[in-house]
Structures are given as structure tokens and as C-alpha cells.
Structure 1
């Protein structure tokens, strides 16, 4: 079982989020509904990561799955 997630993209994915809502970020990189989980992690070492929006507006979710600030982009895609 791989411990390295699949790179789903090399740019962050902007999402209009709603304050108080929890979003389930795909950590495995296999979801067809990026950046969110669709259950594709089943049978892998990965689990989705829940993130609750503190305020409404744009959030930039990591698509490369290498961020140190899961689930948000920290620029790690620039080193790929």
C-alpha cells in the first residue's frame, strides 16, 4: 500500500466556502471530485481530512497533496 498520495493537480483549487460548513478534502489524490473526497481512498492508507470554514469566501485547496497545511495550499506544488 502506497504511503505517497497521487498528485491530482499542480495548481490549488479555488472553492467558494461557507462559514461553519465542514468540507472533506481528498488526501489520497484518487477522488474524481477533487479537491473533495468521493470514497476512492477505500483500501488505501489514506482518510479524508475534515476542514471547517471559519468564514465565507474563497479557499484554495491543495491538489498536489504535498501541502504541510492540509487541506489548504502552501505552495508545495511549485517544487514538483
Structure 2
């Protein structure tokens, strides 16, 4: 299995998060439960990235897996 992140989406995933709750973002792009981890990274060097919501609001999780601000979108998908 390749250890290169798969572009799951060329747009971010808008998710309503709850303050204090942990979310595990898929960093490999293989998860069927995007933008979250479903364990599909097993056998690769990828691990999910924990994001703890500071406040309840809508956040935009990176879908292209190339963001410098992972797990959140920084607009990198616009250059793909």
C-alpha cells in the first residue's frame, strides 16, 4: 500500500462540532467515513489526527489531505 495521502475531496468538509468533543480526522484519504478515520490507514505510515473542538461551531476539515493547517482546510485544494 502506498504511503501517499489520497485526495478524498477537492473541497473541505463542513462539520458542526461540539465544544470539548474529540474528532479523529482521516489523514490518509482512504477512509469511507470522510473526513473522519475508519481505520483504513492500517498498513500505512498514516495515523488519524485528533481535533478537539474548542467551541461549538461549523469547522471545515481538509478533504484534499494536503493542508498545512491539518486537520482544517487552508485552501490548498484550490491549487490541485
Alignment TM-score, normalising by the size of structure 2: 0.96
Q: How far apart are residue 24 of structure 1 and its match? A: 0.1
Show structure 1 runs of 5+ residues with no match. none
Alignment TM-score, normalising by the size of structure 1: 0.96
CA RMSD after TM alignment:
0.8
- 1:36 is paired with a residue whose SS is coil
Do the aligned partners of 1:8 and 1:34 also contact (CA within 8 Å) in 2? yes
> In the TM superposition, what whole-angstrom CA distance separates every residue of 1:21-48 from its partner, at most 9, and x where no partner exists?
0100000000000000000000011000
Query: Which consecutive aligned stretches of 4+ in structure 1 deviate over 6 angstroms post-superposition?
Result: none
Q: How many residue pairs were aligned?
A: 80
Q: Tell me what 2:68 maps to.
A: 68
Q: Does 1:16 align with 2:28?
A: no
Show structure 2 runs of 5+ residues with no match. none
Q: Does 1:47 align with 2:10?
A: no
Separation in 2 of the partners of 1:34 and 1:46? 15
Q: How far apart are residue 73 of structure 1 and its match? A: 0.1
- 1:78 is paired with a residue whose SS is helix
Do the aligned partners of 1:2 and 1:45 also contact (CA within 8 Å) in 2? no
